[in-house]
Amino acid sequence: MSTQPTGLNCDVTNGTGTVAAQAVTNIAVACTDKPLTVGGTISGLGSATGLVLENGTDRYAAPAGATRFTLDAPQSPGSTYAVHVQSQPTGKTCSASNGPGTMPARDVTNVSIVCSEEAYGLGGTVVGLTAAGLVLSDGDNELRVPADATDFTMPEALARGSNYTVSVKLQPTGLTCTVSEGTGTMPAGPVTEVAVTCSSTRYTLGGSISGLKTSGLVLTDGTESLSVAANAGQFSMPSALAEGSPYAVTIQAQPSGASCRVTDGSGTMTGEVGSVRVSCEAPTSAP
């Protein structure tokens, strides 16, 4: 069989022979669900040994020089996975990006393990946190932030060159907190510019759209994305933002056959924002 169907493994029996003077009717094709796997890439490991990756009870001991990995335990579509570093290699620190997720109907191959001799702290500032309950996360790297905290540092240091995405996993009691500058790549030093803003008041972020005739437009405010339907005249981002938090609406994906631009897309939330303008037009054909 030259090509397997998505999500299945198929086998052929009685598939070879010589055609006699009658129809061949005994060829059988049997298909079963394909066991899905989780894996990805390893960079910077070099000659170091001792790296062990983990997804639940499934473990992978990476040999020296490994550049890819696959965890053996079969996964099913819709199940959750969370790959993280169970044991660090000798003399290095490794960090996992894209580690947690939900299984699609295909193998996961985009988990990234980055190893480096240098590891640094990931943190920033906290404003307006007057109640307990705030939990920040960067994949499996989680931090419960105490009330009245003005700064934070995630528990695990990250390898230089690894990706990070700090987000709010649990909101504090009676407050809404938002994260800005929470996504990036670890430099050769600690990250201290992640900003968490908390407020008892939150406001919607949106505006107007003109000239949008086709689908495909995706807007983002840095933490969330919004797919906009064709012919839409206005938009509102999915989640309200805390008072005092910064925003910056940009184009994540252009619509089919058109080009859009954003004006008045950045500022600080001091009330309901409906002044962001998205203007779309078809490209001008060359004469």
Give the tens place of pLDDT for each residue, 29-74: 877 667 899 999 999 999 999 999 999 999 999 999 999 999 989 9
Same domain for 48 and 110, yes or no, is yes
Same domain for 100 and 60, yes or no, is yes
Same domain for 96 and 127, yes or no, is no
Same domain for 81 and 148, yes or no, is no
- Per-residue burial over 73-95, b = 16 or more CB atoms within 10 Å of its CB, e = otherwise: eebeeeeebebbbeebbeebbbb
Within-domain flag for 16: no
Does the pLDDT at position 285 exceed 60?
A: no
Does the pLDDT at position 24 exceed 70?
A: yes
Same domain for 41 and 59, yes or no, is yes
pLDDT for res 208:
97
pLDDT for res 93:
95
Closest CA to 130 of 194, 168, 173: 173
Residues 15, 16, 22, 28, Cα dihedral to 10°: -10
Within-domain flag for 286: no
Give the tens place of pLDDT for each residue, 3-22: 767 656 677 888 787 777 77
Instruction: Look at the chain and report how many structural domains it folds into.
Output: 3
pLDDT for res 77:
87
Expressed as residue numbers, the domain containing 221 is: 203-281
**CA distances (Å), 139 to each of 58, 75, 154, 165, 220, in order?**
18, 19, 11, 7, 21
Within-domain flag for 261: yes
Among 147, 175, 199, residue at a domain's last position: 199
Within-domain flag for 156: yes
pLDDT for res 202:
86
pLDDT for res 279:
97
Same domain for 186 and 221, yes or no, is no
Within-domain flag for 61: yes
Return the minimum-mean-pLDDT range out of 4-8, 151-155, 160-164. Answer: 4-8
pLDDT for res 196:
97
Does the pLDDT at position 284 exceed 70?
A: no
Give the tens place of pLDDT for each residue, 216-247: 999 999 888 999 999 999 999 999 988 888 99
Within-domain flag for 13: no
Within-domain flag for 94: yes
Does the pLDDT at position 162 exceed 60?
A: yes
pLDDT for res 283:
73
pLDDT for res 120:
96
Same domain for 253 and 275, yes or no, is yes
Among 63, 90, 116, residue at a domain's last position: 116
Give the tens place of pLDDT for each residue, 169-202: 999 988 999 999 999 999 999 999 999 999 988 8
First to last CA, the chain: 51
pLDDT for res 53:
97
pLDDT for res 282:
85
Same domain for 87 and 124, yes or no, is no
Q: CATH number of the domain at 132, please.
A: 2.60.40
Same domain for 94 and 66, yes or no, is yes
pLDDT for res 9:
64
Same domain for 125 and 141, yes or no, is yes
pLDDT > 70 in the chain, percent: 95
Same domain for 142 and 111, yes or no, is no
Among 176, 199, 222, residue at a domain's last position: 199
pLDDT for res 84:
93
Within-domain flag for 212: yes
Same domain for 159 and 230, yes or no, is no
Question: Mean of the per-residue pLDDT values for the chain?
Answer: 91
